[in-house]
Amino acid sequence: MITGNKTIDRLHPKYLEAIADFSDERNNGDGYWIYLKEPFFNPELECRTIHEQKLMDCIKQLKSCVKNPITKEQYFSNQSK
């Protein structure tokens, strides 16, 4: 996926495949947003989005996202065992 952001577009393809959409909302004070494709999700936020004020923080979270055929509920259930 080509997002139009040079930093994001230079990431390894395994990270790019997780991105459904990217939005730079700094002009209205809302930072950066990355929307993830299914079956990717962000275990830190327990959702399919990443939202940070700094782009490098978004990338850090993107790299921790997981691709799994199970639901996020199943993932977190397994983590608590």
State the sign of the Cα–Cα–Cα–Cα dihedral 34, 46, 30, 38: positive
Calpha distance 76→29 (Å, rounded): 32
For the chain, the domains span 6-79
Report pTM.
0.76
Euclidean distance between CA atoms 55 and 33, whole angstroms: 9
Digit-coded pLDDT (tens) for 5-54: 888 888 888 888 999 999 999 999 999 999 999 889 888 888 899 999 99
pLDDT at 58: 92
